[in-house]
Amino acid sequence: MSNELEVGQDLTRLQGNGRTSADVLAGYGSAIMPTFGTPKRVFVRGEGCYVWDAEGRRHLDLLGGLAVNALGHAHPTVLAAITSQLSTLGHVSNFFATPAQVALAERLTALVGGADVDARVFFANSGTEANEAAFKITRQTGRTKIISTEGAFHGRSLGSLALTHSPKYREPFEPLPGDVTFVPYGDAAALAEVLDETVAAVVLEPIQGENGVVVPPPGYLAKARELCDAAGALLWIDEIQTGMGRTGSWLVHTDQGVRADIVTLAKGLGNGFPIGACLATGRAATLLGPGSHGTTFGGNPVAAIAGLAVMAVIERDGLLANATAMGERLASMIHLVGNWHIAGVRGRGLLQAIVLNKPIAAAAVDLALDAGFVINAPRPDVIRIAPPLIITGEQLDSFVHALPGILDAAAEVPA
């Protein structure tokens, strides 16, 4: 026991508990690749919907780790599940099966399959890895062309980046894999013009998150399904940000009565524990065979038990209904604010965008952080709100009440 205590003390020392933010940021700047720029805060603790920085200041987390922390921070059920599993069996590789892995697979495939529809899952560690698996499934059709959309974001690895529209992400790494065509998002007529018998798949987000929470017109996903069926193409729905209760339903597309051939998940599924999942149905379910894809860590029992715990709590605590109710409350409260900097609100459930009349979102994010609120700006004129699904009305109201002052101050920040 004394050895374990000594190791624990060494780890505490190495972590540098008690270091100021300046100390940690100095180490960050010298030891970590500068892919994310300089962090705006050093957070050391979280509980529920709040996080505390190294100086002890509390912040209301309205970003949820980029829509990841569906149950907030340090949720006791998830902690208990992970701790119990890790103390029993942590990792055995995919040469072997574990009960948690199979149980989570059965729960997820039930979301997209049915009595007459075969469904299978490939577990990964992140959203971009789930999309890489999906990309490989499309290649097994014998076709190579994929249709994506303008404004799409599907990840940063080379395969998923090939499906991502933003030139600033793509151009430094071209040439990218693919035979990928981009069409305007939400435009079914534009999709119909390019979707023919040469297309392997159409990949769509049911709501574009990184593009500023853009919601397509009603019936868009259903029309895409119809067009894919006519051309013999796969419909691939990326629910990495929108899925697992974020919008008030388990999955956006199934809530609209649409069946996808491929569905990719991650983010909220693990509540911070790394996990991704590529689901496939019907003929797509068996296009990847033995040896055609793999992963060392994907589907390990600790990640699987985290996913099972998250799904159980969402069901037990009625968090799908809470996401819907709190999303509607947030939107209505912001409309009532009447601040002239606000052009409108869009989104669904607890994935909401505050659309601004001026490109002051970045300044507003910084000022909100100073005021104790974590938000982000996916576009210069858009603030994204994606809090834990456990958020309360009172917590949302505290942000809405502070919002006019934040926006007024942001408008005064020099461009």
pLDDT in tens, 230-264: 999 999 999 999 999 999 999 999 999 999 999 99
Q: How far is CA 237 from the centre of its chain?
A: 13
- Residue 224 in any domain: the answer is yes
Sheet holding 58-61, edge to edge: 43-47, 50-53, 58-61, 373-374
Residue 14 has pLDDT above 90, yes or no: no
Query: 302 and 378: one domain?
Result: no
Query: 373 and 276: one domain?
Result: no
Query: 249 and 151: one domain?
Result: yes
Residue 16 has pLDDT above 60, yes or no: no
Q: How many domains are there within the chain? A: 2
Q: Which of 173, 176, 160 is nearest to 128 (CA)?
A: 160
Q: What is the pLDDT of residue 299?
A: 96
Q: What is the pLDDT of residue 19?
A: 80
The pair of three-digit structure tokens given for residue 413, joined into one six-digit string: 């920040």
Q: Which residues contact 215 (CB under 8 A, 6 or more apart)?
A: 207, 346, 347, 348
The reply to whether 238 belongs to the active site is yes
Query: Domain limits at 272?
Result: 89-316
Q: Which of 43, 122, 123, 153 is catalytic?
A: 153
pLDDT in tens, 106-151: 999 999 987 788 999 999 999 999 999 999 999 999 999 999 999 9
Across residues 339-344, what is the average pLDDT?
96
Residue 90 has pLDDT above 90, yes or no: yes
**CATH assignment at residue 378:** 3.90.1150.10
Q: Which of 242, 163, 243, 183 is nearest to 208 (CA)?
A: 242
H-state helical runs in 32-153: 64-67, 76-88, 99-112, 127-139
Q: What is the pLDDT of residue 116?
A: 80
- Residue 391 in any domain: the answer is yes
Q: Which of 43, 122, 267, 373 is catalytic?
A: 267
Query: 294 and 326: one domain?
Result: no
Domain final residue, candidates 285, 316, 347: 316
pLDDT, mean over the chain: 95
Half-sphere exposure of 181 (CA within 13 A, CB side): 17
pLDDT in tens, 204-214: 999 999 999 99
The reply to whether 122 belongs to the active site is no
Query: 385 and 260: one domain?
Result: no
- Residue 2 in any domain: the answer is no
- Residue 205 in any domain: the answer is yes
The reply to whether 179 belongs to the active site is no
pLDDT in tens, 25-73: 999 999 999 999 999 999 999 999 999 999 999 999 999 999 999 999 9
Q: Which of 123, 135, 145, 238 is catalytic?
A: 238
Burial of 163 (0-12, 13-18, 19+ CB in 10 A): buried
Q: What is the pTM of this model?
A: 0.95
pLDDT in tens, 343-399: 999 999 999 999 999 999 999 999 999 999 999 999 999 999 999 999 999 999 999
The pair of three-digit structure tokens given for residue 146, joined into one six-digit string: 């994929």
Domain final residue, candidates 279, 300, 316: 316
Angstrom distance (rounded) from CA 85 to CA 103: 14
Q: Which residues contact 131 (CB under 8 A, 6 or more apart)?
A: 154, 155, 157, 159, 160, 163, 238, 240, 264, 278
